[in-house]
Amino acid sequence: MTLPPPPATAFPAARTAIVTGAASPRGIGRATAARLAAEGWSVAVLDLDEAACRDVATRLTDEHSVTCLGIGVDIRDRAAVDAAVRRAETELPQLVGLVNNAGVSSPVPFLDVTDAEWHRVIDVNLHGTFHVTHAAARLMAEHRLGRIVNVSSTSAERGGGVYGRAAYSASKAALLGLSRTLARELGPLGITANSVAPGSIDTDIMGGRLTDERKAVLLKDLPVGRIGTVDDVAAVIAFLLGEDAGYLTGVTYDVNGGSHIA
């Protein structure tokens, strides 16, 4: 789709962000949705569990006096994603932000990875991100304004991590490349695209494996002296979606407490 360069576009007071993977109680997506709602954004909460999405959206609406919408969707399903984005467009204010947070981990070493495991991870983390971004970016291009943030991982930068190995690291590294490509291609349409790369964050994706003993081991490599929280990541994402971040695009913010210093 070829469009002319954008005119200067005002950042709307009434604006919407889509956040995928936002229903998990202790996840980055939910913390980000809450942070954005507190800052005046309407939020489309997307996740697999329809009831959980609606519950989160209702809570955000009640607590922050913004209109939020919960939509159950499998981001691997292109038709379902297109329908979800259309609902957000119809029922909420102008779509400005997109947070591609939904993802699955994989602790399987490379030589043990099966085709099924590889495709399971790539289908969600990469193909799902493509589906949502492709649908949302078209709307942003029409308004000549958009902010896209892809949630990658320190694993993508250092070649694996504590919990994510080959398939996970590969999928998250692909998101870094996608963000940079989007920055170049969509920049002339008023859209920025950036990444955050969280390190050791205490979330549900760790599956309860962050024991006190494991925390002690991790802390030895963390200059800041503590494990990260979902709010640490949400704060950076919210900044990248905001009006003040309009001159930032194609960059990766490492939110890792100094565990990986490039």
Residues that are catalytic:
168
40 in Cβ contact with 122 (< 8 Å): no
Q: What count of Cα atoms within 13 Å lies in the side-chain half-sphere of residue 188?
A: 8
Beta bridge partners of 98: 18, 148
Cα–Cα distance measured from residue 105 to residue 244, given in angstroms and rounded to the nearest whole number? 32
193 in Cβ contact with 184 (< 8 Å): no
Quick count: other Cβ atoms within 10 Å of Cβ 53? 24
Give, as one character, the DSSP assignment of residue 201. Answer: B
69 φ, ψ to 5°? -135, 130
Give the residue ranges of DSSP H helices in the chain: 28-38, 50-64, 78-91, 115-122, 129-143, 154-158, 166-186, 212-219, 230-241
Contacts of residue 61, Cβ cutoff 8 Å, sequence gap at least 6: 37, 67, 68
37 in Cβ contact with 66 (< 8 Å): yes
Cα–Cα distance measured from residue 125 to residue 88, given in angstroms and rounded to the nearest whole number? 21
Q: Pick the closest to residue 98 from 33, 53, 174, 170 (CA basis).
A: 33
